[in-house]
Structure 1
Amino acid sequence: MAELTCLSDGMRDALARWQDTLRAVDGRAENTITAYRSDVQGFLSFLAVHFGDSLGPAALGRVKVADMRAWMAQERAAGLSARSLARALSAVKTFAGWLAEREGYDVTAILATRSPKFRRKLPRPLAEDAARAMLDTVEIQSGEPWVAARDVAVVTLLYGCGLRISEAIGLRGADWPFGEALRIRGKGNKERIVPVLAAASDAVAEYVALCPHDLAPEEALFRGKKGGALNPRLIAKVMERSRLQLGLPASATPHAMRHSFATHLLNAGGDLRSIQELLGHASLSTTQAYTAVDTARLMEVYRSAHPKA
């Protein structure tokens, strides 16, 4: 993280107030706020050296297009990827826009800077038969029946409900029994309602029946062997062992089960807007990546099967 010694008290105060706004008003996740702060501090530290003096809030109004180009060139030369630079620029624009709105500075040069182009990574879902095989194989990784049931329950929630691993691990005893739907608090503290399939409820019910620990309402639903909250790394490890046995690629991770949920739902005729709501994506453009996966797979089939391809 960039040092703050080159920033004036006013700039440090502005940074702190901006973070408070991201947290309280925008509902951004702490990991997002931490990443944004690091990106913005790096930019401000560059400006302090570039301008040759202690940096106050008004300095953002002095930034020209050439200054932005110099910062981006330095970051790329230091090895920052185009994707990471695009994220850093987004953070800088968010901060500059917030400050300009409150202080009246002209930050047009910052806001008008174009993001570097990069190829977005497509989600890497499992095929339907591979997803089912993963569930079956996860079940046989542990000799302790309650641990095996726990691992299957968690992975079933990832695939059957499209949950993030953090969302599944974050469920509390009070959330059980699920009923027909779950109220999930995801990224940015945003809530969404997720339908629960019978298979997911059944998997969790088996785990709850076998779990030797008291699943108090305020405590974690999924537990480690010693009774503490389950470490998500354990689910990643059990899936890693399973994928090696199945001969699946390294991309067969817990998050791939969520990708599989979305892709298989889309293939079955689900509409993008509904899938966006189920996944908790803030932007439809994020969900649209699954249409690219479907198109890419279709072209692979075309190239392999068409006589003139």
Structure 2
Amino acid sequence: MSEISPLRRRMIDDMTIRNLSPATQRSYLHAVTKFSRYFGRSPDRLGLEDVRAFALRFFFGITLGHGEIPERIAYARTPAKLPTILSGDEIVRFLEAVPSLRTRTALTTAYAAGLRASEAVHLKVRNIDGERGIIRVEHGKGGKDRNVMLSAQLLAILRVYWRLARPEVWLFPGRDETKPIDVQVLYSACRSACAAAGIDKKVTVHTLRHSFATHLLESGTDIRIIQVLLGHNNLSTTARYTKVSDTLIRSTTSPLDRLTLEVVPPG
């Protein structure tokens, strides 16, 4: 294996300090590598004019599709599409099609609180505050902590889950109980549950998060509250300065409370 250059190592360290995800880091490194290879020089020896030239290459080669530039830049962004949303009935069918208690509870929590997959798997038992009606999400995207509402039905489900599974540190531990459940387990469960429930949509953990936000909007929840619950502070300039109190978060009803969900998988 070739040794990592000091410049590449510095970039990796800078991205790690800023809590960029591994996928984002790979994407950024790939882009810089393509930029460097195009000019045949180290990126620290390239300037603004080189950036402009590379951008023009992208414009003529990709945007205009000129055949005289055969090489295409990999991992180009696809056009933005509307996210897949599940109806309330589909949420129930989907979650009840997950046979594992631990995985079903993790996915139910992701929907009930609008969590990212990484946030759901990294929940700790101590993050569930039943008395205050709050779930504490630690080190979310961008390293930010936030509070989200703890659904009354979710609390009941978590109590049943806790009595049966007895998690100690991680709310959803992996096979090695000193580590959280692997996020790939959730992804795999989503694919299987979709097929089992007969849902003809591509459903991921993020689909549950999109559905959470959409269902809240449809029920009349203020968009500013939803922005805070999702940990989004860049949707608008106003959102950056909007602060929602814990009292308001506690009083916001999770969409899960409008559904009837079987807690323990049969069998």
**TM-score of the two chains, using structure 2 as the length reference:** 0.71
Counterpart CA distance in 1 for 2:37 and 2:226 is 41
Deviation at 1:231, TM superposition (A): 2.6
Aligned AA for 2:172?
A: F
Of residues 143, 154, 158, the one that matches 1:200 is: 154
Deviation at 1:13, TM superposition (A): 4.8
- Verify: 1:35 aligned to 2:27, yes or no: yes
Counterpart CA distance in 2 for 1:71 and 1:164 is 32
Contact 1:46 1:71 in 2 (8 A): no
- Which residue matches 1:46? 38
- Which residue matches 1:94? none
- Which residue matches 2:234? 283
**TM-score of the two chains, using structure 1 as the length reference:** 0.62
- Verify: 1:221 aligned to 2:213, yes or no: no
Contact 2:134 2:150 in 1 (8 A): yes
Q: Greater share of helix residues, 1 or 2?
A: 1
Deviation at 1:33, TM superposition (A): 2.6
- Verify: 1:60 aligned to 2:47, yes or no: yes
Deviation at 1:229, TM superposition (A): 3.2
Deviation at 1:37, TM superposition (A): 1.8
Cα 1:190–1:266 shift into 2, 3 Å = same
Provide structure 1 residue ranges, at least 5 long, that are not aligned to the other structure: 6-11, 49-53, 87-117, 142-146, 286-309
- Which residue matches 1:161? 113
- Verify: 1:152 aligned to 2:104, yes or no: yes
Contact 1:235 1:254 in 2 (8 A): yes
Report matched runs for 1:76-91 at 5 Å: 77-80=70-73, 84-85=75-76
Deviation at 1:249, TM superposition (A): 1.8
Larger mean CA deviation between 233-242 and 180-189 belongs to 233-242
Aligned AA for 2:171?
A: L
Of structures 1 and 2, the one scoring higher in RCO (CA 8 A, sep 6+) is 2
Cα 1:70–1:249 shift into 2, 3 Å = same
- Verify: 1:182 aligned to 2:135, yes or no: yes
- Which residue matches 2:256? none
Counterpart CA distance in 2 for 1:175 and 1:202 is 15
- Verify: 1:126 aligned to 2:86, yes or no: yes
Aligned AA for 1:203?
A: I
Cα 1:120–1:4 shift into 2, 3 Å = farther
Contact 2:58 2:73 in 1 (8 A): no
Question: Whose Rg is larger?
Answer: 1
Counterpart CA distance in 2 for 1:79 and 1:65 is 17
Identity of aligned residues (%): 27
- Verify: 1:265 aligned to 2:248, yes or no: no
Partner-residue secondary structure (3-state), 1:270: coil
Contact 1:159 1:258 in 2 (8 A): yes
**Alignment coverage as a number of residue pairs:** 227
Aligned AA for 1:201?
A: L
Deviation at 1:193, TM superposition (A): 1.5
Deviation at 1:264, TM superposition (A): 0.4
Deviation at 1:224, TM superposition (A): 4.1
